[in-house]
Amino acid sequence: MRRPTHFHRLGFTLVELLVVIAIIGILIGMLLPAVQQVREAARRATCANNIRQQVLALHNYESAYQKFPPAHLINGSWWGGPFEVQPAPNGYASNSYPHGGAFWSWAMAIAPFLEQGNLHEQVNFSASGASWPWWQFMPNGETIMGVSCPTFVCPSDQRGDERWEDPNNENIKVAVTSYLGVSGRDSYMATGGQDGMIYVNSKVTMGMVTDGTSNTLLIGERTPAKDLQYGWQWAGAGDNVQGEADVVLGVHERIGVGWGSDPNGYETDYFRPGDPRSPGNIHRFHFWSSHPGGATWGLADGSTQFISYDMDNPNNGSNGFEMSVLEKMSTRAGGEVGLDYN
């Protein structure tokens, strides 16, 4: 009996296998950007919801206390009074400390409205040195400043879960935030700044927002500084105890103002892309986000808007240049209405 001389081939040749692998690689290359876009869209939606929750909490605070919370509280005469600030809303104790505790930020003020009441109750807000945030601890030994609330972390910020650690005391840790209050055009009274919604010792009411709440910025995105020393969730002093770059920021913030010097002599930064890897924390003086193309902002009417970097420019309105759309939106009573920021 003759054996068959032809057999049915099973499997692929090497060439066919390589062709299949190449096709799969091309398909993956085509689909990956789409997958990344879908993921970023989801992260951006979560970020917008974070800001919306903060804005609603600020509104609830305003309803309860008839004013929005300040960036933080200080005594303007401390350290020689290097910069002019208005008095603390609730005055001072005989020891010069503000009633309500020094340096606790607007974020801690609204914590009870963000289901963080248990944390808020642990804080010593007394008008004394005991109220300083940096050395207050939970019963478990963790610093209050080290407790992170997810509502203050943008999901696109890869460092959002990190904490700053005191190089001299590993027990002192501080949670960082992706969001800062808008102090106005900048954070200095001497330049005509502090014209926004949240700044040092502020007590802005809804009635003071004459530009219209839909035209006025309340919260913006700013990725934490490279060394995590700027952008803290619950408290912060900033470079010059104005809270600037730490808990609040002007949309055209003054860059590196020297202690006690005239801030009018310093250049301003503006809303533009940033890089968390840049040395020297140079991107701490302007709003920016980890999203491509712009950032999400919370407005005083309770809404959120994703605003493109194109809506701002480096012109400094306080020095005679035409104000950008974003600068106009940063003021609560600048006379600008009907702004187009879409």
**pLDDT score of 278:** 80
- What percent of the chain has a predicted confidence (pLDDT) above 90? 63
**pLDDT score of 223:** 93
- In degrees and rounded to multiples of 5, residue 33 shows phi and psi of -60, -40
Provide mean pLDDT across the span 197-203.
97
List, for residues 202-238, the tens digit of each pLDDT value: 999 999 999 999 999 999 999 998 889 899 999 999 8
DSSP state of 335: S
**pLDDT score of 79:** 85
In a 3-state reduction of DSSP, which class is residue 182? strand
Quick check: 6 pLDDT over 60?
A: no
In a 3-state reduction of DSSP, which class is residue 330? helix
Give the Cα separation of 83 and 60 in Å (integer). 31
**pLDDT score of 32:** 63
The residue that leads in pLDDT, 135 or 337, is: 135
Give the pLDDT band (50/70/90) at residue 135: confident
List, for residues 140-164, the tens digit of each pLDDT value: 888 999 999 999 999 998 888 889 9
Quick check: 111 pLDDT over 60?
A: yes
Q: How many CA atoms lie within 13 A of 95 on its CB side?
A: 10
> Among 66-75, 270-279, 301-310, where is mean pLDDT lowest?
270-279
**pLDDT score of 318:** 52
> Among 11-20, 209-218, 260-269, where is mean pLDDT lowest?
11-20
- H or E stretch covering 179: strand 179-184
**pLDDT score of 20:** 78
- What percent of the chain has a predicted confidence (pLDDT) above 70? 90
Whole-prediction pTM value?
A: 0.87
Quick check: 35 pLDDT over 80?
A: no
Provide mean pLDDT across the span 172-179.
94
Quick check: 336 pLDDT over 60?
A: yes
Provide mean pLDDT across the span 124-133.
92
Mean pLDDT of the chain, nearest integer? 88
Residues near 206 by Cβ (< 8 Å), separated by ≥ 6? 62, 68, 213, 300
The residue that leads in pLDDT, 149 or 339, is: 149
Quick check: 133 pLDDT over 70?
A: yes
Token representation of residue 88: 């603390």
**pLDDT score of 5:** 53
Give the pLDDT band (50/70/90) at residue 321: low
Provide mean pLDDT across the span 104-124.
96
**pLDDT score of 319:** 52
C-alpha distances (whole Å) from 104 to each of 70, 199, 328 are 9, 12, 28
**pLDDT score of 282:** 87
Quick check: 29 pLDDT over 90?
A: no
Provide mean pLDDT across the span 164-187.
92
- H or E stretch covering 38: helix 14-65
**pLDDT score of 247:** 96
C-alpha distances (whole Å) from 275 to each of 47, 117, 125, 222, 283 are 19, 34, 36, 11, 7
**pLDDT score of 38:** 65
Q: Which of 266, 284, 277 is nearest to 178 (CA)?
A: 284
Q: How many helices (H) and strands (E) does the chain have?
A: 4, 7
Provide mean pLDDT across the span 52-56.
97
